[in-house]
């Protein structure tokens, strides 16, 4: 299928070395981790939240769940989950449910959970349900340099 042009351009423009790993069709991030034999704590996923101030992508490991209460405390925002139609509009060239955790590529602010800070390698959905992108942890931290980092998620 190939990764979305928006994602490819974002990575290429920043000089990020990446590898595309094909896998069988999956329906969720934990299933993707199993299909690719990637540890769930190294597979980053983006959870799209919203409030009256706009959208925010919370980037967490696939094995974690976002704690909205913690985000409310850190950010003083009443965030809730964005709807599928909103996701389809925001991530226009991605398959539903396969949003890459690089909100800035799509003009969405992001926040990253500190649990991803020390990973040597990071993997994430490539905008479809049959490929993941593999980048170094160093490159991931470079891409997330402007994103606030907190502990706002817990192991599911």
Q: Is the pLDDT of residue 88 over 80?
A: yes
Instruction: Render pLDDT for 36-52 as a digit per residue (tens, 0 to 9).
Output: 999 999 999 999 999 99
pLDDT at 130 > cutoff 90: yes
Domain ranges for the chain: 5-155
Predicted local confidence at residue 1, as pLDDT: 59
Q: Is the pLDDT of residue 99 over 80?
A: yes
So what's the pLDDT on residue 20? 97
Distance set, CA 134 to CA 11, 54, 97, 119 (Å): 11, 29, 18, 12
- Per-residue pLDDT band at 2 (split at 50, 70, 90): confident
Please state the CATH superfamily assignment of the domain spanning residues 5-155 in this structure. Answer: YbaK/aminoacyl-tRNA synthetase-associated domain (3.90.960.10)
């Amino acid at each position: 299928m190939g990764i979305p042009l928006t994602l490819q351009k974002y990575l290429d423009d920043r000089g990020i070395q990446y590898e595309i790993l094909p896998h069988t069709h999956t329906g969720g991030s934990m299933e993707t981790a199993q299909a690719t034999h990637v540890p769930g704590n190294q597979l980053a996923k983006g959870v799209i939240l919203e409030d009256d101030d706009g959208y925010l992508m919370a980037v967490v490991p696939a094995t974690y769940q976002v704690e909205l209460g913690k985000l409310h405390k850190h950010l003083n925002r009443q965030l809730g989950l964005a709807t599928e139609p909103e996701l389809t509009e925001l991530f226009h060239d991605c398959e539903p449910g396969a949003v890459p955790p690089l909100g800035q590529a799509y003009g969405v602010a992001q926040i990253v959970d500190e649990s991803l800070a020390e990973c040597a390698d990071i993997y994430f959905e490539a905008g479809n349900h049959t490929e993941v992108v593999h980048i170094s942890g160093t490159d991931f931290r470079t891409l997330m340099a402007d994103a606030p980092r907190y502990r706002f998620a817990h192991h599911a």
